[in-house]
Structure 1
Amino acid sequence: MSLSRRTLFRGAVAAGGAMVAGGLAADPAGAAPALVRAGRPMLTHGLQSGDVLADQATVWARADRPARMVVEVATEPTFRRTRTVPGALLLPGSDFTGKTVLSGLPDGADIYYRVTPVDLYDTSLAGPPLSGHLRTVPRRAKDVSFVWSGDLAGQGFGIDTARGGYRIFEQMRKLDPDFYLCNGDNIYADDPIEPTVTLPDGSLWRNIVTEEKSKVAETLDEYRGNYKYNLLDENLRRFYAEVAQIQQWDDHETHNNWYPGEILDDPLYTEKRVDVLKYRARQAYHEYVPINPVYDKENRIYRVLHHGPLLDVFVLDMRWYRDANSPDKQAFNDGGILGHEQAAWLKRELARSTARWKVISNDMPLCEVVTDAGGKFEAVSQGDNGKPLGRELQIADLLSFVKRHRIRNTVWLTTDVHYTAAHFFDPDKAAFQDFDPFWQFTSGPLNAGAFPPDAVDTTFGAQQVFVKAPPYANASPATEFQFFGQVSVSAETEAMTVRLRDNSGAVLWSKELAPQR
């Protein structure tokens, strides 16, 4: 009797046993941990895959002690015929995490992989395997579907198992997407988790708590602990085992609203130099997310993922290379929110793209006015609705380039602001008009406080066509104000459909975009 993919994954998660962190098995109910038995290595935090291409994918795992991840690859969930890959070493220097790049995969196929941890010194000692799934990119036109969102475990809202944990991931999993685009704030390193949060109705949000998540992250181990905390959630582990990822970052992977060179004015921190913290945060990020191991000497995260003839996904980094947060009214382009090198890269890659749709994943919105303390601004716009100033100058230059080079069918996806919205950018209603019309779609958070909508800057003619947000600040994940988006592209018509959904999976609003040729 053959197993269905759903049955396989339920069994794989169950076979994983208790979650393990730093040599201790965490009780999901939050009880004191028990010592791990000596002997065979164990996989501790599920499996992940990411940055999938037509013939290649990156697979991630973590063990409880030094081991090698041995990966079996098959095109059937029964693993009747497999190819075995001796994978990465899982060593203390990377907190026992490792990533193996699988190559020679068939395109446009469901790939099943099984990871077994094997002792480094005695290969007869192998721990129980875990199984995962991913879907490779098709070389020919084929229907494409993916989901996106961000902002996980923010504002003190962690894993409340009595309320279903990170339940939004189960709704995304049910859609069987080709991949998941995390738009940033995959952790909240600056936001400790307390045992309880009192909600407006007087009830309690009860968090699983860990030592590493009980203070702000400053050390490398504390940053690592933020990723391990999220991986305690059953919904998240099941989703990650079944759906490949494209990971991005924003600010909370390090500290709220940070920029290079900043000295923090935050009493919770003993290390106040962001330029020290960001390197620890970056190491933990690369250890714990399934991004392809190296893109350049700086381990950059901005990159383009080619998803067949219908779709290219451009992943931006609006954090590492940005100018300082300020009133954002300088009259010259000082590098803006992307930095000069990344902006030039984006122009080159957009001009080279032959995909029908170019999705630009911007971790910060273009038109929503996101403020920072002291009269400063965090995102692109400062709300004056006039000619481009500050970071808007860089975006104006980019939009003009897209128009001048007749680059069609660009769509921007973002999260960050903790509500869901659709904005149409209309040059006829803009202070700056040298661009072609386009859409930006916003959706999040995954499991964090939700907030009322921000003001909309009309420098680029942004019109808020749809929005759903709470009428008060910091609405909890117990409400319906948690969101994700879904994008589908039809191989037959090449039309793109964007659906904005809540944490029940219900479609709140949708828009079909016809391709321009």
Structure 2
Amino acid sequence: MVTSVADRFRIVIGLVLLSVGQGCVSDSRPGLPPSGPFSEQPAPTEALLPQGVAAGDVTDRSAVIWVRTDGPARAQVVWSPERQPEILGKSAVATTAGERDFTLAVPADGLAPATAYRYRVLVAGIAGRPFQESAREAGQGRFRTAAAPDVAEPVTFLWSGDLGGQQRCRGERTGYPIFDAMLRKSPSFLLLLGDTIYGDDRCPAPPNVTGADFLAATLDDYRIKHRYQRGDRFLQRFLAAVPVYAIWDDHEVGNNFSGPSEPLMPIGRQALLEYWPIGTPPEDPTRLYRKVRYGADLELFILDTRQYRSKNSDPDGPGKTMLGAAQRAWLLEGLARSTATWKVIATSVPLSIPKAGNKMVPGIDSWARGADGTGFQTELRLIVNDILQRRIRNVVWLATDVHYVQINAYDPDRDGAPDFHEFICGPLSAAPGKPVPPDPALAPTTLYSEGGYQNFGLIRLDGQSLHLEILDDAGQPRFAHTFPKTGP
């Protein structure tokens, strides 16, 4: 039995030498164009990086590279612009350890804006020769940095969520092929809006790949759930080519959880941070809400709707919060100061769909107020009123969670002109939900509402308009609409 990274290296090198004597194998990768950045490179060594690679939290000057080795190892990430491979950046050599389940989140700093980069992951065993003598390339990927804040260029990105729920997990024969449909859209990035795992649900085998037919209750359980998802070849191929901004919703811990009152929240959060390339501030290493500027026309505000929220069962009112005071102030200040044409707010739960709880976790889980008086509508009203009073234009909310598509235009001041929009999509792979009309409190007009299929959203924007498409798991459009910007 192979029990260490060093053992795997000996086997891998032996296989490489054997293949040299037996002839060449095609280097092309299924699902990618022949002229793409991976077409001339061998596939990653799965025995060394069994969950592949990923890049995330990309800015105009930096990125975070994620890797996981299959046991203790030394690792280094090197990167260079695709058009200037001689300009090489590299991380320090780091050792993967069991305390983080052998994962690394490596910052890549000092990058150039609006530039395509290729990165390679070098891995060596713990013992033996110096790293530079013994390291071998174990995986590679690419990303493109954002344009500088004063540079206008079109941006195309995707969003969705809800992966592997209600026993619709990695099919033995199918996996998650929706990611190949997403890859074909050539997005700048993916915004993954939560439920990246279903820690509180089972994945029975068959029909699914074995390994996740249990309910998570420990840190190792949550780690296994993440490893199960990241073992999918379609997801690995996507993440090697497209950077991701990931945030959690409830199923990374448990159904409809509220952070301060949920004892499993700290270990669910730890597993999330171990398995996604999320750049947290050193002074607040568990903070998940963040923003990113993507050229002159997009600023993205990613909310954490779980960690600071009051209990769902508490009556709605001035003392109830989903965001917490600090995050709410951060959002309002960021929106007011933003000079981007489009201000996009990522919320894992929808604005006006009262998502009900159950006997174990009662109370409305989304922003809207329910008939039982629960919800988070008072706090949402504070945010909406601030948007109206400051005349902040071109605000779009993105959501998932309810497992169907709904596109809403809101006119809370009831002057006949929409003040902001909400686009809801998903699931990526979960039981479809049945659409319900939005709550009327914020005067929504529904432009489209449909369930019954797996889906993702695509946004293409510039300084003049935002184009929206909802696409099914084959990449076929089900809805499309272009929204012109308002104001000067």
Tell me the TM-score range normalised by the shorter chain. 0.7 to 0.9
Q: How far has the Cα of 1:232 moved from its partner?
A: 1.3
Any idea what the Cα deviations from partners look like across 1:226-272, whole Å, max 9, x if unmatched?
1100111111000000000111111000001111454xxxxxxxxxx
The answer as to whether partners of 1:254 and 1:278 remain within 8 angstroms in 2 is yes
Q: How far has the Cα of 1:218 moved from its partner?
A: 1.0
> Which ranges of structure 1 fall in alignment gaps of 5 or more residues?
19-41, 197-205, 263-273, 471-480
Partner of 2:213: 214
Partner of 2:270: 283
Q: Does 1:227 align with 2:226?
A: yes
Q: Does 1:516 align with 2:481?
A: no
Partner of 1:118: 124
> Aligned pair in 2 of structure 1 residues 396, 224: CA closer, same or farther (>3 Å)?
same
Q: Which amino acid aligns with 2:431?
A: G
The answer as to whether partners of 1:47 and 1:61 remain within 8 angstroms in 2 is yes
> Which residue of 356, 374, 377 corresponds with 1:371?
356
The answer as to whether partners of 1:43 and 1:117 remain within 8 angstroms in 2 is no
> Aligned pair in 2 of structure 1 residues 296, 483: CA closer, same or farther (>3 Å)?
farther
RMSD: 2.4
Any idea what the Cα deviations from partners look like across 1:192-246, whole Å, max 9, x if unmatched?
21113xxxxxxxxx10011xx2211111111111110011111100000000011
Any idea what the Cα deviations from partners look like across 1:329-360, whole Å, max 9, x if unmatched?
54x31132112221111111111211111000
| Partner Cα separation in structure 1 for residue 378 and residue 166 of structure 2 | 32
> Which residue of 178, 192, 196 corresponds with 2:188?
178
Structural mapping, 1:242-321, within 5 Å: 242-260=241-259, 262=261, 274-275=262-263, 277-294=264-281, 296-321=283-308
For the residue of structure 1 that corresponds to 2:157, the secondary structure is strand
The answer as to whether partners of 1:5 and 1:77 remain within 8 angstroms in 2 is no
Q: Does 1:129 align with 2:163?
A: no
Partner of 1:411: 396
| Partner Cα separation in structure 2 for residue 442 and residue 180 of structure 1 | 15
Structural mapping, 1:457-496, within 5 Å: 457-470=439-452, 481-490=453-462, 493-496=463-466
Any idea what the Cα deviations from partners look like across 1:489-510, whole Å, max 9, x if unmatched?
13xx531111111111111112
Residue range with higher mean Cα deviation, 145-154 or 341-350:
341-350
Number of residue pairs aligned between Structure 1 and Structure 2: 450
Residue range with higher mean Cα deviation, 167-176 or 86-95:
86-95
> Which residue of 420, 436, 441 corresponds with 1:454?
436
Residue range with higher mean Cα deviation, 502-511 or 120-129:
120-129
TM-score relative to the length of structure 1:
0.82
> Which residue of 402, 408, 423 corresponds with 1:441?
423
Q: How far has the Cα of 1:161 moved from its partner?
A: 3.9
The answer as to whether partners of 1:366 and 1:381 remain within 8 angstroms in 2 is yes
Any idea what the Cα deviations from partners look like across 1:447-500, whole Å, max 9, x if unmatched?
111111134211001222201113xxxxxxxxxx0010011113xx53111111
Q: How far has the Cα of 1:178 moved from its partner?
A: 0.6
| Partner Cα separation in structure 1 for residue 42 and residue 272 of structure 2 | 23
Structural mapping, 1:6-405, within 5 Å: 7-9=36-38, 14-18=43-47, 42-76=48-82, 79=85, 82-121=88-127, 122=129, 123=131, 124-139=133-148, 140-162=151-173, 164-196=174-206, 206-210=207-211, 213-260=212-259, 262=261, 274-275=262-263, 277-294=264-281, 296-326=283-313, 329-330=315-316, 332-374=317-359, 376-383=363-370, 391-405=376-390
The answer as to whether partners of 1:314 and 1:360 remain within 8 angstroms in 2 is yes
| Partner Cα separation in structure 1 for residue 83 and residue 232 of structure 2 | 24
> Which ranges of structure 2 fall in alignment gaps of 5 or more residues?
1-26
> Aligned pair in 2 of structure 1 residues 12, 395: CA closer, same or farther (>3 Å)?
farther
| Partner Cα separation in structure 2 for residue 286 and residue 435 of structure 1 | 41
For the residue of structure 1 that corresponds to 2:467, the secondary structure is strand
The answer as to whether partners of 1:70 and 1:118 remain within 8 angstroms in 2 is no
The answer as to whether partners of 1:59 and 1:100 remain within 8 angstroms in 2 is yes
| Partner Cα separation in structure 2 for residue 177 and residue 70 of structure 1 | 27
The answer as to whether partners of 2:364 and 2:370 remain within 8 angstroms in 1 is no
For the residue of structure 2 that corresponds to 1:240, the secondary structure is helix
| Partner Cα separation in structure 2 for residue 437 and residue 13 of structure 1 | 50
TM-score relative to the length of structure 2:
0.87
Any idea what the Cα deviations from partners look like across 1:403-442, whole Å, max 9, x if unmatched?
111211110000000011101112366xxx8996211001
The answer as to whether partners of 1:77 and 1:112 remain within 8 angstroms in 2 is no
